[in-house]
Amino acid sequence: MAATMHDVARLAGVSIKTVSNVVNGYPHVRAETRAKVLAAIDQLDYQVNVAARNLRTGRTGIIALAVPELSLPYFAELADRVIEAAREHGLTVLIEQHGGDRERELEVLSGARRHLTDGLIFSPLALGAGDERLLEVDFPMVLLGERIFHDGVDHVTMHNVEAARAATAYLLELGRRRIAVVGVHAGEVVGSAGLRLEGYRLALADAGIPFDPSLLGEAGLWHRATGAEAMAALLESDAGPDAVFGFNDALALGAMHELQVRGVRIPEDIAVLGFDAIDDAMYSFPALSTVDPGKEQIATTAVQMLVDQAANRQSYRNGVHRPTRVYADFRILVRGSTEPATEASRR
Amino acid sequence: MAATMHDVARLAGVSIKTVSNVVNGYPHVRAETRAKVLAAIDQLDYQVNVAARNLRTGRTGIIALAVPELSLPYFAELADRVIEAAREHGLTVLIEQHGGDRERELEVLSGARRHLTDGLIFSPLALGAGDERLLEVDFPMVLLGERIFHDGVDHVTMHNVEAARAATAYLLELGRRRIAVVGVHAGEVVGSAGLRLEGYRLALADAGIPFDPSLLGEAGLWHRATGAEAMAALLESDAGPDAVFGFNDALALGAMHELQVRGVRIPEDIAVLGFDAIDDAMYSFPALSTVDPGKEQIATTAVQMLVDQAANRQSYRNGVHRPTRVYADFRILVRGSTEPATEASRR
DNA sequence: GATCCGTGGTACAACGTTGTAAAGAGTGTC
DNA sequence: GACACTCTTTACAACGTTGTACCACGGATC
């Protein structure tokens, strides 16, 4: 049905390889010949068959991005940035959702899709300590997140500990002393929850404030709903917080919702701070102060690393190139949920 | 590097075609032979090369989903559902963002990617009346949205007019009489803005209430920011609304934010109603009442239609199968932003 | 005993592209 | 005029799979 290089070649009166040369921008083609070929391509509305090219070259121009789920704004925004960054490199993005399900994460790693893609950007949720060996795959991969660390793979992550420490320090500077956290995973050491909690504890220690376990709000899933539930539990205990640090924005927004339902004033009675800097955070009321973990940088860096891996496959295989770990820059975005606002700054 | 069918065949001591038969579940293979092949596959950790299979069969197992941008929660949630629906059919989803840019939308339609995918689910934003011919492509495609209608293609859309009419009628039932709308595109007839405005007008007419242009809030982009701006403009005019109907949830949430900044009580002074039923809407304060346009149904129907098209390519080509248009079911989700709430219902 | 059929297996030729090697056509140098 | 060089173009063989055609075997049918 669709035209092939053969058809173009016949119409232009040249060999099929010459058509290929034109299509791929090979320089040593006479201008006249090139024009003939281009005219034929135009006339037949020819498009290269990517599958055939792929079979021949082993490249597809597709990279896979595996995330828990796109319904979570953080991952939706990350995916958005990854798609745009990939586009800059002429790549398209195939998205896989694993929903934090271990089986599905393993499927992503060893899956049949690997022939379809030039590489994988993988943000695991279920995999963790002890699974490092599973990451030693023989295709280009960049790891995201903080569930698992392994020197053998390129990794883009955030300054979780430092950012959480700075965030907590910021709340302390505001004079808050009873800072609750929402999103704790009991017993977790590595992973966003463990690392951010570590940062929180360090900041308290820096300020000489005792750590009080009654201020810890557990939340397995980091959704708005669980944030609201954890907040409710904190309010119904006798913890008496004057600030809440949500380990992500969804948790913080859920907590904020719960506070407002109960008539607690934000930030006067309780200041609220989030993490992730999702778009929503800007439009809550009051707007949610949050930690921007460098989403944009994470996306562009990950894509760049993947492209580099693909380009220098040899060096990566034989160990000339050592895998690197990049920590994105963070900053605290101050908004109305923490600073007693003037009419203007409250937005 | 990776094992091929040749390797498996050699190890199992059979022909390469027999391996292919085993892999593809061809029934006439002796159990003993099948076992040998499976053992070899296992031993070599063999995976079919999808590119080669694709070249041979013309199928890739990938479908493309083209949306404006994933940062918009509606599309992120839609993509989530599409990915899951595709998974049920053994398909993977490649996502393209066109950002509502005409050039990029055209690229999607005529793009080089078409060889990589078995079909396209396309939600245009820039294309519209006059571009119908562009939709007559020779690969499986399902159209989403309400920017453009064409009898020649399968289409999944919403009851925009009816849903907006019902939504407006609901606000009227609550006793609201000065219902402002946010998200108007002046002069648009087709498209979400045009159709939803039409529903609004019909409901007013049904109730015998005069249409007042001063209650129309324009907003080109349907983001929270523009919703807030439009709301501000309405409040600073002398329109005096007692309800706001946001043409999507982002607009409504933005409007709500603006109202709260100004100390307007929701729903007592002004009721707010959205459209799309994104997850966020559940966790604003008060929770946003909204119209659920049947997102889930849209996603599953679109994928199903695409699969059917691919399976019955012939019938579609020669016109035996006629393209259909499906309208998803909608319903109004009543929450605290419209109903003067009890402590319980307010959540 | 010839014919037909179902089963289990194989050989070969595609699918549409690109890398390799090499041939022809000029151009310049000695 | 021979040689080396560059530019331009080509033929051919892959890449890894599957569809088609076909062969061989045994059992059933006439």
Q: Using CA atoms, how far apart are residues B20 and B8, in angstroms rounded to an integer?
A: 10
Task: Output the pLDDT for position A296.
Answer: 95
Kind of pairing between the strands at A92-97 and A62-67: parallel
**Which chain A residue has its CA at the smallest distance from B71's CA?**
A77
Look at domain A160-293 and name its CATH class.
alpha beta
C1' of D11 to CA of A17 (Å): 9
Minimum CA–C1' distance nucleotide for B47: D16
Between β-strands A119-122 and A62-67, what pairing exists: parallel, antiparallel or unpaired? parallel
Question: What residues of chain B score a pLDDT lower than 70?
Answer: 1, 111-113, 317, 341-347
Residue B45 contacts strand D, CB under 7 A: no
For residue A260, say whether its CB is under 7 Å from any atom of strand C: no
State the nucleotide closest to B34 in CA–C1' terms: C8
* A79·B94 Cβ contact <8 A: no
Give the residue, A221 or A157, on which the prediction is more confident: A157
Q: Which residues pair with B216 in a beta bridge?
A: B181
Å from the B48 CA to the D25 C1': 31
Whether pLDDT at A297 is above 80:
yes
pLDDT confidence of residue A346: 42
Task: Name the token pair of A343.
Answer: 């009419």
Distance from CA of B222 to the nearest CA of A (A): 13
- Sign of the alpha-carbon torsion through A226, A229, A231, A233: negative
A333: Cβ–Cβ under 8 A, 6 or more apart, which residues?
A: A277, A281, A289, A290, A291, A292
pLDDT at A315 over 80: no
Type of residue at A17: K
For the domain covering B62-157+295-328, report its CATH number.
Answer: 3.40.50.2300
Q: Do A112 and B47 touch (CB under 8 A)?
A: yes
A55, closest nucleotide (Cα–C1'): D15
Nearest chain A Cα distance for residue B304, angstroms: 19
**Which CATH number is associated with domain A5-48?**
1.10.260.40
Distance between CA atoms of A131 and A212, rounded to whole angstroms? Answer: 33
As a whole number of angstroms, the longest Cα–Cα distance in chain A is 86
Contact criterion met (CB below 8 Å) for B304 and B164: no
The pLDDT of residue B330 = 97
Q: Which range in A7-16, A159-168, B186-195 is most confidently predicted, on average pLDDT?
A: A159-168
Q: Which nucleotide is nearest to A15 (CA to C1')?
A: D10
Which of A81-90, A203-212, B6-15, B333-342 is the least confident region? B333-342
Rounded to whole angstroms, the distance from the CA of residue A21 to the C1' of nucleotide C20 is 14
Task: Give the separation between CA A189 and CA A199, rounded to whole angstroms.
Answer: 11
Q: For residue B327, what pLDDT is reported?
A: 97
pLDDT tens sequence across B46-99: 888 888 988 898 888 889 999 999 998 999 999 999 999 999 998 989 999 999
Contact B147, B191 (CB under 8 A): yes
Question: What pLDDT sits at residue B345?
Answer: 46
**Strongest mean pLDDT among A220-229, A268-277, B124-133, B274-283:** A268-277
User: Is pLDDT at A166 greater than 70 in this prediction?
Assistant: yes
Nearest protein residue to nucleotide D13, judged by CA and C1' positions:
A56
Q: A179-184 and A243-246: which strand pairing?
A: parallel
Q: Which of A34-38, A104-108, A135-139, B179-183 is predicted least confidently?
A: A135-139
Residues 38-97 of A with CB under 7 A from strand D: 52, 55-56
Nearest to B50 among A76, A112, A279 (CB): A112
Architecture label for domain A62-158+295-328:
3-Layer(aba) Sandwich (3.40)
In eight-state DSSP terms, residue A149 is: -
Angle between helices B160-173 and B191-206 (to 10 degrees): 40
Distances (CA, A) of A6 to A13, A214, B41, B283: 10, 74, 36, 58
Instruction: Give the percent of chain A with pLDDT over 90.
Output: 69
Count Cβ atoms below 10 Å from residue B311 Cβ, excluding itself. Answer: 11
Residues A150, B70: Cα–Cα separation, whole Å = 30
Domains B62-157+295-328 and B160-293 share a fold: yes
Distance CA B83, CA B225 (A): 29
> What is the distance in angstroms measured between the alpha-carbon CA of A37 and the sugar C1' of D16?
30
The amino acid at residue B159 is: H
Per-residue H/E/C for B116-149: CCCEEEECCCCCCCCCHHHHCCCCCEEEECCCCC
Please write down the HEC assignment for all residues of A300-341.
HHHHHHHHHHHHCHHHHHCCCCCCCEEEECCEEECCCCCCCC
Smallest CA-to-CA distance from B258 within B200, B219, B212 is with B219
Domain residue ranges in chain A: 5-48, 62-158+295-328, 160-293
The nucleotide whose C1' lies nearest the CA of B24 is D18
Are B115 and A1 a contacting pair at CB < 8 A?
no
Across A215-232, average pLDDT: 92
> Nearest-CA neighbor of A217 among A190, A184, A195?
A184
- Per-residue pLDDT at A74: 92
CA distance A75 to A81: 10
CA A28, C1' D1: Å apart? 29
pLDDT(A341) > 80: no
Distance CA A345, CA A343 (A): 6
* Mean pLDDT in residue range A21-47: 91
Q: Is the CB of B44 under 7 A from strand C?
A: no
Report how far residue B92's alpha carbon sits from residue A213's, in angstroms, rounded to the nearest whole number.
Answer: 44
Contact between residue B309 and residue B316 where contact means Cβ atoms under 8 Å apart: yes
Q: Are A189 and A197 in contact (CB under 8 A)?
A: no
Per the DSSP assignment, residues forming a β-bridge with A182 are: A217, A246
- For residues A105 and A124, the answer to whether their CB atoms sit within 8 Å is yes
The reply to whether A45 Cβ lies less than 7 angstroms from strand C is no
Residue A173, pLDDT score: 96
* CA atom of B45 to C1′ atom of C9, Å: 24
Give the pLDDT band of residue A347 (cuts 50, 70, 90).
very low
Q: Which residues of A touch B316 (CB under 8 A)?
A: none
Q: How many CB atoms lie within 10 A of CB A264?
A: 17
Min Cα distance A332 → chain B (Å) is: 21
- Please give the Cα distance from A192 to A245 (Å, whole number): 13
Per the listing, tokens 């949205």 go with B145
Nucleotides of D under 7 A from a protein CB: 7-12, 14-20
What pLDDT shows up at residue B346? 42
Measured distance CA(A91)–CA(A119) in Å, rounded: 11
Average pLDDT, chain A: 91
